[in-house]
Chain A
Amino acid sequence: MKASISATEHLKYFAPQIEKVSKSTKAWIVFLLMLIALGGVALYQQIAYGHIVTGMRDNVVWGLFIVNFIFLIGISYAGAILSGLLYIFNVQWRRPIVRISGLLTIAAGLIGPIFILLCIGRFDRMYYLFLYPRLQSPIIWDVMAICTYLVGAVLYLYLTLIRDFSLYSDAEFLNIPNWKRKLYKTLSLGYRGTEKQKSQLKSATRLLAIVMVPLVVIISSVLSWIFGMTLRPGWHSSIFGPYFVIASILTGVGVIIVIMWIFRRLYKLEDFLTDKHFTYMGFIMLVLAAGYGYFTFSEYLTGWFGSEKWDSEVMHKLFDPAQYGWWFLWSNLFAIVLPILVVAIPRLRKPGPITLAAALMVLAMWVKRYLIVVPTLETPLLPLQDTRTEYVHYAATWQEWALTVGGLASFLLIFIIFSKIVTIVPSSDYIDDEKVAKN
């Protein structure tokens, strides 16, 4: 990274990113919109015919939607806690990563809850959650947690953007339409960079960063308690809270690495997102993967060793190659062993391999969420004596897959839209460098 680049120079470098929408980006947007439309068709069918169009039935009452929900909301939490921690500890290499994780927080945080809405039978009665809430229900805890979190996350991202908005609206050389300039001006809330404003903004950002870290730990645990509070094997586990916290952050770090790699390629950011960034993020991934591996090991060792009947039935499904055995094995190898190996071996510690390992790990973590939700629900206490196969085994329908893909496309679309509004590497961070250079 060039140490003494000025903020204006920096912005000039990044101007094309927010000035115009390239043809390939437009093509991407159209493609993503088509995927979202496909999800729309599936959604229409689900509303018109009921949840019968999904693969969910009386035993497996939750399926892909819940899997996507905990996956995405977990990624969002990871973005928040990571940018919070990097800010608090004033990590110097954090700049480009804080912005990416901030955007990730919002994009995943907006799409995740949509999946929980898709899973609910009476969408039209959603407001009952606020009209007749019962505090002892973990769903109400989750509603409160996610609402609190989204407010905090939006505020936090906004605070980190104010200086950029002010910079953009003042930058005469920026070739942007008038409405966009006005938008930046409004959004900058009259920030001029005076000493008072500076210290106020700094303390507000710092305060929110400090609040976000414990908040994420709490709400991530609350998310796990939707499962942990039931009497079901594979869910009813005291380590589920911390297990979910670490799994979420690990997945989020993986997603950030992948996005870093994509943006580096897309916007030629090699000077800003250096190899060092990938190495550091790789180290974080290694530590988290090791922690996650430890939790996984304790969780399944105790379940298996104790050999309580109901527990064993679930364990058997996860270990049996004819059932979920291969999925279980590969998901753990890709999520735990692969990230550790790639980062630990110096020869492999390069952006390419690290990104590949991160991408595979993220996929494996999605599979892992599936393996948490579905096999447990397929294993009720009383024998499943039903001749209707769809009631015995869960198989997602095309409608569920279409909505999953549609959700993923919306997530990417939000990211693209954001990247047209703000620079991926915060230009305003270089204002301070300018001062340092002048002195």
Chain B
Amino acid sequence: MHNSDNINNNERRDFIKLTVLGAAAAACGSAICSCSKDKQPKDGEKVKLLSADGELVEIDAKHLRPIPKTVVVSKEEARRGIPGRKFVMVIDLARCGNARKCVTACQKMHHLPEDKEWLQVKLMMDSPDAAPYWFPKTCFHCDNPPCVKVCPVDATFKRQDGLVLIDADRCIGCKFCMAACPYSTRVFNWSEPEMTQEMEGLCYSPETSVPSKVGTVEKCDFCPDMVRAGNLPDCVTACPNGVFYFGDENEDAVSNGDETVRFSQLIKDRSGYRFAEELGTQPRVWYLPPRDRLFPVERSLEGMPENLKDRFKDVIKEM
């Protein structure tokens, strides 16, 4: 209790300071959350900043407070979701060449070790005669989520903005949600997650899912903290080919960072579909069929590191 009061006070203090500094602080914002240990800059170091009035001012660097890149909200708010929104993702299979930038960006954003992938890129071949294609897979944030149905303690929940999140402070680690999810989306912390220096002081929220907690389940969360701050999830912006479109079904708009398009029109024009519709889970992730591919699978396999290529050996054999 005492601890959380402190955090709140800190937040309030930071907020006041931030208002004073205005846009200045935002300009030098770093990814450190408000409850992180302050790294005190050296005395006497001066920084030039543009004030809200448009004047150039020089102030002591120690008066600057880093602001979080993301927005930290209360547990209640994290469970409720962002009012009026209905998040949706469209993944364009025609553009994916398995560059894996989405995977690494996701891992960096969530401080995941190299072998833990919330976002996976599978090599699919629907039948021996069908053409192979790359299949990036996030959590589908189903509207009828089998994982949420089976959770005994309300640790995983469906929000009004469509997201399915996990509260790792509530999770008892029964792994029933993992058994129930037909898409192998969820991962478990089998041992104490390694803490890196940049994770120090990060305060956990179901919206950031960081830091990981031993004995609990975690998964792709569609980066709601980024969305609150008005940014696209990191996988979307990291993709060099604009595979991922993220947006709001209520606004009927999705963006891959380069272009913003009408969601309904995109699905209509490009024959969008949802994976394994027959399971009745009603995913919030749509796929555009891999027609007129930018990258043939054979070419993207060339030059791929052997250990990575090894993953796809069963499919490569059939190709």
Binding site for B on A (CB under 8 A): 49-52, 56-59, 61-62, 119-123, 125-126, 128-129, 131-134, 136-140, 143, 226, 229-232, 377, 380-388
Contact = CB atoms under 8 A, between A and B. Distances in A.
A281 B149 CA distance: 42
A49 B193 CA distance: 11
A128 B172 contact: yes
Interface string B149-187: 111111100000000000000111111101110111011
Interface stretch (B80-88, B100-108, B308-316): B308-316
Contacts of A138: 150, 176
6 tightest A-B CB contacts, nearest first: A121-B173, A121-B215, A50-B191, A139-B152, A52-B191, A61-B175
B184 A59 contact: yes
Judged by DSSP, the binding face of A is loop
Contacts of B215: 50-51, 121-123
B295 to A, nearest CB: 18
Nearest to B188: A58
Contact of A122 (B171, B182, B192, B310): B171
B276 interface: yes
Interface in B87-146: 115, 120, 122-124, 137, 146
Interface string B286-319: 0000000000000000000001001110110000
A385 B312 contact: yes
B260 to A, nearest CB: 30
Nearest to A138: B150
A257 B146 CA distance: 41
B180 A231 contact: yes
Interface in B167-221: 170-176, 178-180, 182-184, 186-192, 214-217
A125 B172 contact: yes
Contact of B176 (A226, A377, A386): A226
Contact of B310 (A61, A382, A387): A387
Nearest to B307: A387
Contacts of A140: 152
B1 interface: no
B279 interface: yes
8 contacts: A57-B188, A58-B187, A61-B179, A121-B173, A125-B153, A230-B146, A230-B180, A377-B179
A230 B179 contact: yes
A61 B185 CA distance: 13
B179 A50 contact: no
Contacts of B276: 381
A101 to B, nearest CB: 30
Contacts of A50: 189-192, 214-215
A337 B315 CA distance: 40
Nearest to B171: A122
A281 to B, nearest CB: 36
Contacts of B173: 51, 120-122, 125
Given A120-B172, A383-B122, A383-B314, A132 B146 contact: no
Contact of B172 (A129, A377, A382): A129
A10 B190 CA distance: 56
B174 A120 contact: yes
Given A137-B176, A232-B179, A49 B191 contact: yes
